């Protein structure tokens, strides 16, 4: 965001203009006023390789939902009223920035949090349409239903320092799983390919913590609306006029 000179909760404006599909993806994922992180759904929409005991090559997607299937909150039904690129605090907002973090930590300490991890698969074909790898195109759930895979139980919340050094790697998979090779940067599978090759960036981040210290926790009263946002927007307009 700093490189794009976009900050204080207003980002990706020009990106959304250039890539409408990116805007649609952001709108689908956007939530407003969710009551808890616990009742949200978490999807891995870019497919992975999956080879089962039958040795048949498949593609797989994963998702995590509450074990009790608690209804999801915060879903936006009328995106025409939402400025997707503007995530600034609304004038009437009274809650702190960390209200969801605090609620989830209290829930975990009180009763824990349980989720169901599910998998959706489809058999790979030589003539597969490239669009099946498009993370913006859901698979037909009648033809490719979701299956329960594992129960996830969370009984402890990480502290700030632990959370800053926590990461994941797409390379940490058995040979029967893993990323689907990408043919070019225009291949939908290039997204996971780049993620799998981002290890150096993670190591650099961890090294920066050792050299310069850990970032400070985000205060609950942090205000994303402050700063030189108006100045930045005026500079954008002036630049467009000059061009």
Please give the order of strands across the beta sheet that includes 57-66.
146-154, 113-123, 57-66, 42-51, 177-178
Superfamily of domain 13-73+83-242: Catalase core domain (2.40.180.10)
Q: What is the pLDDT of residue 3?
A: 53
Q: What is the pLDDT of residue 240?
A: 58
Q: How far apart are CA 201 and CA 170, in angstroms?
A: 14
Q: What is the pLDDT of residue 230?
A: 47
For residues 164 and 215, the answer to whether their CB atoms sit within 8 Å is yes
Task: Provide the b/e sequence for 34-72 (b: ≥16 CB within 10 Å).
Answer: bebebbbeebebbbbbbbeeeeeebbbbbbbbbbeeeee
Q: What is the pLDDT of residue 25?
A: 86
Q: What is the pLDDT of residue 14?
A: 84
Q: What is the pLDDT of residue 7?
A: 62
Q: Where are the domains of the chain?
A: 13-73+83-242
Q: What is the pLDDT of residue 229?
A: 44
Residue in this structure with the two tokens 């009180």, named with its chain if needed = 110
For residues 154 and 113, the answer to whether their CB atoms sit within 8 Å is yes
Q: How far apart are CA 119 and CA 90, in angstroms?
A: 37
Q: What is the pLDDT of residue 233?
A: 46
DSSP 146-161: EEEEEEEEE-----HH
Q: How far apart are CA 67 and CA 228, in angstroms?
A: 44
Q: How far apart are CA 175 and CA 49, in angstroms?
A: 9
Q: Please classify residue 192 by burial: count the beta carbons closer than 10 Å to its beta carbon, then call 0-12 exposed, 13-18 middle and 19+ buried.
A: buried
Nearest to 120, CA basis, from 138, 102, 96, 101? 138
Q: What is the pLDDT of residue 184?
A: 95
68 to 35, 77, 103, 199: CA distances (angstroms):
16, 24, 18, 35
Q: How far apart are CA 18 and CA 242, in angstroms?
A: 19
pTM of the model: 0.83
Q: In this structure, what token pair is assigned to residue 204?
A: 């650099």
27 to 37, 44, 196: CA distances (angstroms):
18, 16, 26
Q: What is the pLDDT of residue 243?
A: 60
156-209: pLDDT as tens digits: 999 999 999 998 899 999 999 999 999 999 999 999 999 999 999 999 999 999
Q: What is the pLDDT of residue 222?
A: 77
Residues whose CB is less than 8 angstroms from the CB of residue 19 and which lie 6 or more positions away in sequence, other chains included: none
Could you read off the pLDDT tens digit of each residue along the chain, which spans 243 residues?
Answer: 555 555 667 778 888 889 888 888 888 889 989 999 999 999 999 999 999 999 999 999 999 999 999 999 999 989 888 888 887 888 788 888 899 999 999 999 999 999 999 999 999 999 999 999 999 899 999 999 999 999 999 999 999 999 999 988 999 999 999 999 999 999 999 999 999 999 999 999 999 999 999 988 988 887 767 654 445 545 655 665 566
């Amino acid at each position: 965001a700093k490189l794009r000179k976009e900050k204080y909760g207003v980002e990706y404006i020009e990106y959304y203009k250039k890539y409408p599909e990116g805007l649609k993806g952001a709108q689908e994922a956007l939530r407003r006023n969710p009551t808890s992180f616990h009742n949200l759904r978490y999807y891995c929409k870019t497919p992975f390789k999956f080879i089962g005991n039958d040795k048949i090559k498949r593609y797989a997607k994963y998702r995590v939902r509450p074990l009790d299937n608690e209804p999801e909150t915060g879903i936006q039904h009328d995106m025409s009223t939402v400025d997707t690129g503007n995530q600034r605090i609304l004038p009437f907002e009274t809650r702190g920035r960390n209200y969801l973090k605090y609620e989830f930590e209290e829930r975990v300490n009180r009763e824990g949090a349980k989720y169901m991890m599910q998998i959706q698969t489809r058999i790979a074909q030589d003539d597969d349409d490239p669009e099946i790898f498009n993370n913006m195109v859901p698979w037909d759930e009648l033809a490719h239903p979701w299956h329960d895979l594992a129960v996830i139980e969370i009984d402890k919340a990480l502290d700030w320092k632990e959370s800053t050094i926590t990461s994941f790697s797409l390379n940490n998979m058995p040979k029967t799983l893993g990323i689907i090779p990408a043919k070019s940067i225009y291949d939908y599978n290039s997204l996971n390919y780049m993620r799998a090759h981002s290890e150096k960036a993670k190591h650099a981040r961890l090294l920066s913590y050792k050299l310069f210290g850990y970032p400070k926790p985000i205060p609950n009263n942090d205000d994303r609306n402050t700063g030189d946002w108006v100045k930045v927007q005026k500079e954008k307009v002036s630049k467009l006029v000059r061009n």
